[in-house]
Chains A and B, each alone.
Chain A
């Protein structure tokens, strides 16, 4: 009897041991043990990324990471403003023919792809001009379904014909890439030549994007459709691990060709400490860890505890972090050595309409009513702390073609009474009550839900019923590209410092993957775009761009809400953090003062004592 009782006690007592065992069995040191002397940059990402396949990069999140792995012919000078291009994999700036139709570019020797199992013995081979040709032909390959094809559509002699040729193949990898394209040739291993169908002043900007980085055909063949998870580039970092939805770790690429921190910049750069590392070899960091944190609270607490080096200011931490009158760090932040970076970020947010939608497309009064129904000032106050600039038009301030007179127009006027009158008109046109509309919002966080509720309220105020569909970023992007969304909350920034890059989003040949997610089409707009795209910057070009903007605004394909003013909050140990709104390959310049970072924990303890 006694023995049986004891066995129960033993079983019962074994449970806590089992708890410990379960934890310890689960415990395993990851392959990257924490090393205090390792310079690890830790950044938050508030959304999942879609792909790391260079030829299909479209969104800023994917570009932001891929640009540390892939390198292109040119890059933006890190410090100089206004933006200036400098050679990266190219030996020099392109030699351009007098008629602006032929670009000849010599590329550097001794550039190697990172080591990867796709290469014999796992050793990366030297990059040649043929790899640049392959990268662009791949984008043209219709079976590859690159979302970046619209950038190149009709630009390069023979490339459109190559695209037609690829239609005859079953699969992407079946395509015969040896078929020559007259306007895209490797003259020898280190010389690349572009022949254009017409002058294209923006070409060099596009050659500074990771999208045009040399692509290793071995990688495409080795990984097949999984290449999006296996980027093989030439950059200072390589992908170590990508745990989708959780984190991405990049580590230093040991075979990188090298580079140096710039020695000159803007006059204020020395004063701001951005020239302290002038001439030093890059990169500074050993690794970069991007944490995907979809909830705001843990990210903010991690930042305050010093577990993240930088993050952006959100609605919920604004009052704690920012002095709203001066847009400087609040005293509580300053005493922790935390500071703000405030900068204009040319961009625009909108509530976009799918112009091919049966309800919205043929009903301009309805679209105009929605534009009148939204109080942009309230949205700015509620969600952007009143810091954003109201978008009276589409093109953001900071671009040469921005029209200062746009503020005198009424495209962004909040007028619920007029909206209600317009809805009467819209119903007559539709032939009955307007059915419930559906908006897609990229994100499922509290902020996203608040934005959804805000829009529902303003739609309801004018008699429209709005359903909100919250989705993660890749699903949202997929829906946009495929025209599945009726109304969408979105935004865009130009990928190059040129308004045409933004206006392209309304060209009829760019529907879907091309970036025209409004499925907007206006022949007058298209004609003007074709006229302007070959023009070099000047007053006439500016006038025509503004004209195009007005033509589009008159059709109300979206309710444009605001232009972003970015506020980044950084710890003082995060060095060389000068913002650049067009350049993505900036991680190689960033540096962590490890000693300063380790002192922060002590500072936190002292602050706690003081608070007590």
Chain B
């Protein structure tokens, strides 16, 4: 296992280098020197030169220890991404946004997972019954309703009409108070798709011979569902779950915007709206890194869940 992990870690090196090459090519070679755009078309040459120097566009692209290429790698690997167009340090912006984003997305993710998995096991067990039908219809309805509608109606009924939650993120209140409603909305909005997926996965297993055998042997429903069915269904579940984790760091664009949550989703929207390629570049790299790490974790989890999968 250790050798496998070590070998997979080594594989990540060329992937990370590839990502850095790609982002360098996109943002520095194709994008080129954007100093004149930053300075504006009526700026004097001196101003443009100052901006060029500040953002390092006056350095050679390659073939120097101080080239843009080397600096691109250096900045990414030290997580010192420099300054955004609004002059604030990008790393500070990202660090500030991670907390609120994860506080929103982790409970949302776990809540959706637990609920959808529980319900999936339940409806798969009673497949074909009226309960199964109702749940499937509700899932399809939930998937058909735009995410924004969940937010708007959630804000209106639960926050405004019933007064159970604050309408917007309240900096003077605890995160728990501010985030409960967006978390619940996120769970409900995400339930339909997840439940249908897990139901399909569980149903595939429920039709297997070993399930009939298990019941024939007299095992209880709990034992069959949790020991046999759930364990055998774990591979697709792990793939879906572990590969979702990097997205948690990106926050939730719509929820953060409508609830005024100062997370990474809002930061990305802001960066796109203000064409801040420095932030977009940094976020792209971090996201790629997370994907690489969690893909590795997925592979390790496969081996844990299914002994037939060999790591060597």
Are the C-beta atoms of A27 and B257 separated by less than 8 Å? Answer: no
Of the 9-residue stretches B105-113, B280-288, B291-299, which lies at the interface with chain A? B105-113
Q: Are A12 and B226 in contact (CB under 8 A)?
A: yes
Given A23-B103, A293-B260, A481-B40, A249:B171 Cβ within 8 A: yes
Query: A608 — nearest CB in chain B belongs to which residue?
Result: B161
Question: A20 vs B173: C-alpha distance in the bound complex, in angstroms?
Answer: 18
Q: Are A34 and B173 in contact (CB under 8 A)?
A: yes
- The reply to whether B39 and A23 form a contact with Cβ atoms under 8 Å apart is no
B37, B167, B171: the one contacting A30 at CB < 8 Å is B171
Across chains A and B, the number of contacting residue pairs, with CB separation under 8 Å, is 166
Q: Which of A26, A29, A244, A305 sits near B102, CB closer than 8 Å?
A: A26
Per-residue A-contact encoding for B295-311, CB less than 8 Å = 1, 0 else: 00000000000000000
Are B163 and A604 in contact (CB-based, < 8 A)? yes
Q: How far, in whole Å, are A484 and B261 apart by their CA atoms in the complex?
A: 31
Say how far A362's CB is from chain B's closest CB, in angstroms: 17
- Specify which of B42, B174, B183 is in contact with A512 (CB 8 Å cutoff): B42
- A263-294 residues with Cβ-Cβ distance < 8 A to B are 289, 291-294
B40 near A484 with CB under 8 A, answer: yes
Report which of B103, B169, B223 forms a contact with A5, defined as CB distance below 8 A: B223
Chain B residue at minimal CB-CB distance from A472: B273
In the complex, what's the smallest C-beta–C-beta distance from B164 to chain A, in angstroms?
A: 12
| Contact A483/B40 with A15-B114, A305-B160 known, Cβ cut-off 8 Å | yes
Write the A555-580 contact mask toward B (1 if CB under 8 angstroms, else 0): 00000000000000000000000000
In the bound complex, CA of A128 to CA of B43 (Å): 35
**Complex contact A244–B107 (CB within 8 A):** no
User: Among the interface residues B43, B99, B106, B110, which one has the most CB atoms of the partner chain A within 10 A?
Assistant: B110
B residues 75-94 near A (Cβ < 8 Å) are 85-88, 93
List, in ascending order, chain B residues with CB within 8 A of A23's CB: 103, 107, 175-176, 179-180, 183
Number of interface residues of A (CB under 8 A): 68
Cα distance, A604 to B99, chains bound together (Å): 34
Whether the Cβ atoms of A472 and B274 lie closer than 8 Å is: yes
Chain B residue with Cβ nearest A302: B167
Alpha-carbon gap, A556 to B279, bound state (A): 39
Which B residues lie within 8 Å of A475 (CB)?
Answer: 273-275
Please give, as numbers and ranges, the residues of chain A lying within 8 Å of B127 by CB-CB distance.
Answer: none
Partner of B87, one of A34, A228, A297, A483: A228
Which residues on B sit within 8 Å (CB–CB) of A12?
114, 117, 226, 230
User: B110 and A225: CB pair below 8 A?
Assistant: no
The interface residues of chain A lying within 8 Å CB-to-CB of B85 are 478
Residues of A contacting B93 with CB < 8 Å? Answer: 244
Tell me if B52 is interfacial: C-beta within 8 Å of chain A: no
Indicate if A241 sits at the interface (CB-CB under 8 A).
yes
Which of A19, A247, A293 has the largest number of chain B CB atoms within 10 A? A19
Q: Is B159 an interface residue (CB 8 A)?
A: yes
Closest to B162 in A: A608
CA distance A2 to B308 in the complex (A): 22
- B47 cross-chain contacts in A, Cβ below 8 A: 145
B166 interface residue per 8 A CB criterion = yes
Interface string of B48-92 (1 = CB under 8 A from A): 000000000000000000000000000000000000011110000
Q: What's the minimum C-beta distance from A164 to chain B, rounded to whole angstroms?
A: 13
Interface check B8, CB cutoff 8 A: no
Q: Assess the A245–B262 pair: CB atoms within 8 A.
A: yes
Contact B179 A26 (CB under 8 A): yes
Output the residue of A22, A24, A294, A604 with the most chain B CB within 10 A.
A22
In Å, the complex CA distance between A369 and B34 comes to 34
- Contact status B169-A15, CB under 8 Å: no
CB distance from B70 to the nearest CB of A (A): 25
Question: Which B residues, 248 to 297, have Cβ-Cβ distances below 8 Å to chain A?
Answer: 257-262, 266, 270, 273-275
Contact string, A481-524, partner B, CB cutoff 8 A, digits 1/0? 11110000000000000000000000000011000000100000
B130 to chain A, nearest CB (A): 26
Query: In the complex, are the beta carbons of A15 and B99 less than 8 A apart?
Result: no
Q: Is the beta-carbon distance between B172 and A34 smaller than 8 angstroms?
A: yes
**Could you mark each residue 29-48 of chain B with 1 if its beta carbon is under 8 Å from any beta carbon of chain A, else 0?**
00000000101111100110
For window 220-267 of B, CB contacts with A under 8 Å fall at: 222-223, 226-227, 230-231, 257-262, 266
Q: Which residues of A contact B169 (CB under 8 A)?
A: 246
Choose from A27, A295, A297, A298 the contact partner of B103 (Cβ within 8 Å): A27
A40 to B152, CA, bound (A): 27
What chain A residues lie within 8 Å of B231 (beta carbons)? Answer: 8
24 contacts between A and B (CB under 8 A): A5-B226, A8-B227, A8-B231, A19-B107, A23-B103, A26-B99, A30-B171, A34-B170, A225-B87, A243-B171, A244-B93, A246-B260, A292-B260, A293-B260, A298-B168, A301-B160, A307-B166, A470-B273, A471-B273, A479-B40, A482-B39, A483-B41, A484-B37, A512-B42
Seed contacts A24-B176, A145-B47; 16 additional CB < 8 Å A-B pairs: A5-B222, A18-B110, A19-B114, A22-B107, A23-B176, A27-B175, A30-B172, A30-B174, A291-B168, A297-B258, A298-B168, A470-B273, A475-B275, A483-B42, A484-B41, A519-B42
Q: Which residues of A contact B (CB under 8 A)?
A: 1, 4-5, 8-9, 12, 15-16, 18-20, 22-30, 32-34, 40, 48, 145, 167, 225-226, 228-229, 241, 243-247, 249, 289, 291-295, 297-298, 301-302, 304-305, 307, 356, 444, 470-472, 474-475, 478-479, 481-484, 511-512, 519, 604
